[in-house]
């Protein structure tokens, strides 16, 4: 559902990998590695995000 909504609105999604949370590691892995790449245009860590924002 989210992917469809993102595509319909022409939004770009960036996942900040080390700024996510889950109750268990397995759930975090499933979200970060399996699910989110289907709708996140890029997956970065917080340092990469800060560096990109500093350049903008």
The pLDDT, as a whole number, for residue 49 is 92
CB 31 within 8 A of CB 2: no
More confident: 46 or 40 = 46
Please provide the size of the chain in residues: 56
Rounded Cα distance between 24 and 13, Å, is 24
Counting the structural domains of the chain, the total is 1
Domain that holds residue 45: 2-55
Rounded Cα distance between 10 and 19, Å, is 24
Q: Is the pTM of this model over 0.75?
A: no
What confidence category does residue 41 fall into, taking pLDDT thresholds of 50, 70 and 90? Answer: confident
- pLDDT (mean) for 12-25: 82
What confidence category does residue 6 fall into, taking pLDDT thresholds of 50, 70 and 90? Answer: low
Segment 20-36, tens digit of pLDDT: 788 888 888 877 777 77
């Amino acid at each position: 559902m989210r992917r469809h909504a993102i595509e319909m609105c022409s939004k770009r999604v960036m996942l900040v990998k080390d700024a996510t949370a889950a109750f268990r590691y397995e759930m975090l892995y499933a979200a970060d590695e399996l699910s989110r790449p289907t709708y996140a245009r890029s997956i970065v860590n917080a340092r990469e995000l800060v560096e990109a924002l500093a350049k903008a």
